[in-house]
Chains A and B, each alone.
Chain A
């Protein structure tokens, strides 16, 4: 009988341990889910919207302001909607977006004049990221940003594996037709756009963006009606937001 009592006691202890383990695991999972960037995006979106609505008129997100600041852009200046893309050239999810989603956005909305795409620098994936962004902005001086952007994403390798070290960046720039190498190298060596990129990072952080890729979709004219898309989401996610905005503008 003593043995049976001990067995039962042991089993009860085990059950209690198991139950507490399951409770901890479930709590952990839901905790992580709750604090994951995708779930939180709703809250960020709301606070960001409030911020932007307060500052309409001098919005940093109006297309004219973005272009005036020197941000690279694609598409028609009269496009009613602007997508602002915060990315890092070393981020593999950004490469996923560029390979899978961006061509569809380009074909469906940019080529048809409905959308303008603006690039914002958010180098935070490794020590070499800043160099890649400085080089890209130097290419932008010569109107070659998007060619350089394509070359970088096509050649993307492991973070800080050396693929965007100084020498490789110069080598990659040589793949761009008609790029003035001397001008590019001078700009790159002098880190001419370091402050500009720093301002992009500050802007991203002020909107609660720490991860890449992150997107803001706004009305081009005044940077209002801000919507945020976090992560390398597929085309239908972008389509749902864009179509909604286009409908709102029609009405």
Chain B
């Protein structure tokens, strides 16, 4: 079940990242394309997708097996950072929407997100690694029996 959940999370997110990075196209033909200038971004987004997959599976496991709380803050800050940097890194309509809606501030925001796309993705990876470490610690700790508590 966890593998299925992991796949259900990873595949759409991985596709989403690559659509925004203009590495996957559906029209006029379905094609995946990895030019040299996109390799670093592609590796980072693949890492983010995999980390996100592990984190979601761990959260589901934790909720199913213990009283642990889901670490939504880390989960969302990591993934949303990646998505935002991915969206704005491309010369996409979303970037244009930001520009047309927010004028000069939109231009500056889009440009900053484009310029710092790789550092932003590295930050996402770091946040997700921290979330994974934290989740792992909580799961392992929950296995230690607390003899002082009365579970009956």
Interface, chain A (partner B; CB < 8 A): 1, 3-4, 7, 10-11, 14-15, 17-18, 21-22, 25-26, 29-30, 32-33, 36-39, 41-42, 45, 88, 91-94, 96, 99-100, 124-127, 158-161, 210-213, 227, 229-234, 236-237, 240-241
Contacts and interface: CB of A to CB of B under 8 A. Distances in A.
Q: Chain B contact residues: over half helix, strand or loop, or mixed?
A: helix
14 contacts: A26-B12, A38-B27, A39-B27, A88-B91, A91-B91, A99-B37, A125-B111, A126-B107, A211-B92, A231-B25, A232-B22, A236-B31, A237-B28, A240-B29
Contacts, number: 124
A94 B93 CA distance: 15
A158 B38 contact: no
A18 B69 CA distance: 10
A234 B33 contact: yes
Q: Chain A contact residues: over half helix, strand or loop, or mixed?
A: helix
B29 A237 contact: yes
Contacts of A236: 29, 31
A230 B24 CA distance: 12
A79 B90 CA distance: 32
A45 B27 CA distance: 10
Contact of B35 (A22, A100, A159, A213): A100
A240 B72 CA distance: 44
